[in-house]
Amino acid sequence: MDTLILEIQKASSIETLAAIKTNAFGKQGALSSALRALASLPPEARKIEGERLNTLKKKALAALRKRQNELEIQAWEIRLSEEKIDVTFPPSFQREGRFHPLMFAMQEAVDLFLGMGFSVRTGPEIEKEYYNFDALNVGKDHPSRTSQDTFYFETVPYLLRTQTSPVQIRTLQSEEVPLQIVAPGRVYRSDHDRTHSPMFHQIEGLVVGEEVHMGQLKHTLETFLDLFFGKKIPIRFRPSFFPFTTPSAEVDILCRRHKGTLILGEGDEWLEVLGCGMVHPKVLIECGLDPEKVQGFAFGMGVERMAMLKYGIEDLRDFYQNDERWLSKIGFSCAL
Ligand code: DAH
């Protein structure tokens, strides 16, 4: 039985120690059985054997506690050495990400429309000629169709959408009126200079229902522009032409230039910010609606232009250079 003490002292892991303990002290354990067997011994032998067994039990329990303790300390030491951290190691400074000003402006504009009861729709950037032109009443020989402006795919009739207006058609053909939607997204035209990029962003707006009129269009855009630019901005509606609206207008905002910077809402210059109009009856008919019963207004704005005006950015190409220095200066770190 003294081998038990030796076994305990040599146990190499907590698990082995637990097994030794069960083997000796468990219900069927050797020591427990020997103690139980004492009852059948003659009194003299019982006394001697009883004392021996009890001493052994005490020694074994003490040895168990000691070994358990040693093994636990050992396990800790192994863990500490494996998980060591070097507190003198120089920290890596994590740089904070920022919102791109363009995405920030677009999200802000969309949020304002959501607040006015609009909901958001999107459409594909690889679009069919039908949605981008035909259904929008853009004539077969309209200049915007020629490949000078439009990126066509070799697989006819696909193209990169030149405007977000096709979302008007997709929505009207798949949903019930009345509806009130905005469609933000990327559009493409083969144009590239200080104020044009071959890929840019637009936000389209469409409201269709009974008795929708131009007064509502005007009020919606006035409210939006005041909120977006954060102050009362005088605007003017200038008659214009778009194939998918009639009458059509372009909206200009009042501004003045002061020592190279643009000040919005005052002065005597007008700057064009968006196109709009009453949805053309042909568009309504193409979407299965009766122009005698429902009317609509629509608008479309360039997000780059709106962001440039709002944040005083002068060269549109800055948006796409991915210059870290520019982005960290002009980007927005606050949550949307
Ligand atoms: N799609 C036009 C463009 O890209 C912008 C536009 C003008 C959209 C008038 C409209 C609108 O919905 O009514 O130039």
Distance 2 CA to ligand 1 centre (A): 97
The backbone torsions φ and ψ at residue 22, rounded to the nearest 5 degrees and listed phi first, read -65, -40
* Pocket probe mutation, ligand 1, options 150, 164, 276, max atoms within 8 Å of Cβ: 276
Q: Which of 185, 196, 247 is nearest to 218 (CA)?
A: 247
Name the residue at shortest CA distance from atom 7 of ligand 1.
275
Q: What would the mean pLDDT of 67-82 be, rounded to a whole number?
A: 91
CA 164 to ligand 1 centroid distance, Å = 8
What is the Å distance from ligand 1's center to 243 Cα?
9
Cα 300 to ligand 1 centroid, rounded to whole Å: 4
Of residues 294 and 30, which shows the higher confidence score?
294
CA of 242 to the centre of ligand 1 (A): 7
pLDDT at 1 over 60: no
Question: How many A from CA of 205 to the centre of ligand 1?
Answer: 9
pLDDT of residue 205: 98
CB-based pocket (< 6 A), ligand 1: 163, 165, 204, 242, 245, 275-277, 298-300
User: Ligand 1 atom closest to Cα of 206?
Assistant: 12
Q: What is the mean pLDDT of the chain?
A: 91
Per-residue pLDDT band at 336 (split at 50, 70, 90): very low
Nearest atom in ligand 1 to the alpha carbon of residue 244 is: 13
Residue 146: pLDDT band with limits 50, 70, 90 = confident
pTM of the predicted model as reported, rounded to 2 decimal places: 0.72
Return the closest-CA partner of residue 201 out of 107, 71, 94: 107
For a substitution probing ligand 1, which of 118, 159, 216, 242 has the most ligand atoms within 8 Å of its CB?
Answer: 242
Residue closest by Cα to atom 2 of ligand 1: 300
Any bridge partners for residue 54, and if so which?
none
Atom of ligand 1 nearest to the CA of 162: 4
Residue nearest to atom 5 of ligand 1 (CA): 300
Instruction: Give the residue, by CA position, lying nearest to ligand 1 atom 12.
Output: 299
- What pLDDT was estimated at residue 334? 55
Helix axes 303-311, 101-115, angle to 10 degrees: 100
Q: Is the pLDDT of residue 335 over 60?
A: no
* Better pLDDT: 318 or 203: 203
**Average of pLDDT values for 111-136?**
98
Q: What is the pLDDT of residue 248?
A: 98
Report how far residue 284's alpha carbon sits from residue 210's, in angstroms, rounded to the nearest whole number.
12
CA of 230 to the centre of ligand 1 (A): 24
Mean pLDDT along residues 292-308: 96
To the nearest 10 degrees (0 to 180), the angle between helices 2-10 and 14-25 is 160
| Predicted confidence band of residue 307 (pLDDT cuts 50, 70, 90) | very high
- Mean per-residue pLDDT for 84-103? 83
Contact by Cβ (8 Å): 194, 315: yes
d(CA 258, CA 252): 19
202 close to 222: Cβ distance less than 8 angstroms: no
On the question of pLDDT at 88 being above 90, the answer is no
Strand partners, 204: 183, 300
Ligand 1: centre distance to CA 195 (Å): 18
Q: Which whole number is the average pLDDT over 92-120?
A: 91
Span from the CA of 167 to the centroid of ligand 1 (angstroms):
11
Atom of ligand 1 nearest to the CA of 165: 1
Question: pLDDT tens digits for 208-265?
Answer: 999 999 999 999 999 999 999 999 999 999 999 999 999 999 999 999 988 878 889 9
Q: What confidence category does residue 122 fall into, taking pLDDT thresholds of 50, 70 and 90?
A: very high
